[in-house]
A and B are shown apart, each in its own frame.
Chain A
């Protein structure tokens, strides 16, 4: 069990948080922009898609680092520690599932609009246009994304609570000296 996070883990954690927040905010904006503002809508969707894929890459990198470095030790009672581990597992699952579902949502959409990663690199079509599947995916992507954000807010709230209780988890994630 690792005592501290590797700087790359800390950096990737905050990058993931920023990407999830930006992706979620963009989702609201891009779906509210009227259809006739097509160019704006197009680029907002592209930005949303790139942000989601960057989040996916960040999460994959984090899981690889965690597999190599192990889980950071906590000073929580065993029951709370197990709950925290379960919460983190669900966060990781959603962080993987939401961008993957987003990719497939774009992939099966009625208009063949490419996904241009970072506005440049066209990504391959996996399933292709499928109206029925698109209907399911768009809902699933949205519901799980809301779930992810709710869970992330809970995660942040608990981190603040631990911080208030004098545990050094937040300080450690910010790269300050851990009280652990």
Chain B
């Protein structure tokens, strides 16, 4: 019983620890990974990935030390039209049979201001790794009812699909694909508390 009470107190303390540095695991339950691509001014197509997992090492007091690793299940690519989804999984695009995972690992974070950061990392799609920059915005950072600090972390960036060997359909699909990753992070709920 005493052990249980001790554990409960420990958990409560961890839950209310504000601005504690920590490692946060996230996946599709915590947010979305979306992309959109233009069709030469005619319209824009939107899609996303339904399965991914990531680890965010973040110290709210020293956000420039943030580290991010994300692994995306390429076969979970989703777009409203079934023919388009099949096309994106096929060899011309993500080639999900040969390259089932897309990964991103951040190597440096540069602080712009208290809520904006410039992140550089390595993005691997179809077995091709390229340097990738992302802009990070920490939005709506606030304490929730339980005392945990909550924020929406939004990462946005642009990739050239041609850089990753996705060169098909250039007459109708632009080369630049915009990415938007949006995660709700509860700072008091670190995986390892430190």
Contact = CB atoms under 8 A, between A and B. Distances in A.
Interface of A: 35-36, 38-39, 42, 110-114, 116, 129
Interface residues on chain B, size class = 10 to 19
Contact of A111 (B80, B87, B173): B80
B42 A42 contact: yes
A116 B42 contact: yes
A99 B169 CA distance: 31
A81 to B, nearest CB: 49
Given A111-B45, A112-B44, A113-B43, A38 B173 contact: yes
B6 interface: no
A114 B45 contact: no
A35 B83 contact: yes
Contacts of B39: 42
Interface string B171-186: 1110000000000000
B81 interface: yes
Main secondary structure of the interface of B (DSSP, over half): loop
Interface in B30-68: 39, 42-46
Given A39-B172, A116-B42, 5 more contacts: A35-B84, A111-B84, A112-B43, A112-B44, A113-B42
B50 to A, nearest CB: 16
A114 B40 CA distance: 13
A85 B177 CA distance: 56
Contacts of B173: 38
A35 B172 contact: no
Interface string B148-175: 0000000000000000000001011100
A42 to B, nearest CB: 7
Contacts of A114: 42-43
Contacts of A35: 81, 83-84, 87
Contact of B172 (A38, A111, A112, A116): A38
A114 B41 CA distance: 11
Contacts of A110: 80-81
A39 B174 CA distance: 12
B81 A111 contact: yes
Nearest to A116: B42
Interface string B60-95: 000000000000000000011101100100000000
Contacts of A129: 80
A114 B171 CA distance: 18
- By Cβ-Cβ distance, the 7 closest A-B pairs, closest first, are A110-B80, A35-B83, A38-B172, A39-B172, A113-B43, A111-B80, A39-B171
Given A110-B80, A110-B81, A38 B169 contact: yes
A113 B46 CA distance: 11
A9 B84 CA distance: 44
Contacts of A113: 42-43
A129 B81 CA distance: 12
B166 to A, nearest CB: 14
29 contacts: A35-B81, A35-B83, A35-B84, A35-B87, A36-B87, A36-B169, A38-B169, A38-B173, A39-B171, A39-B172, A42-B39, A42-B42, A42-B172, A110-B80, A110-B81, A111-B43, A111-B45, A111-B79, A111-B80, A111-B81, A111-B84, A112-B43, A112-B44, A112-B46, A113-B43, A114-B42, A114-B43, A116-B42, A129-B80
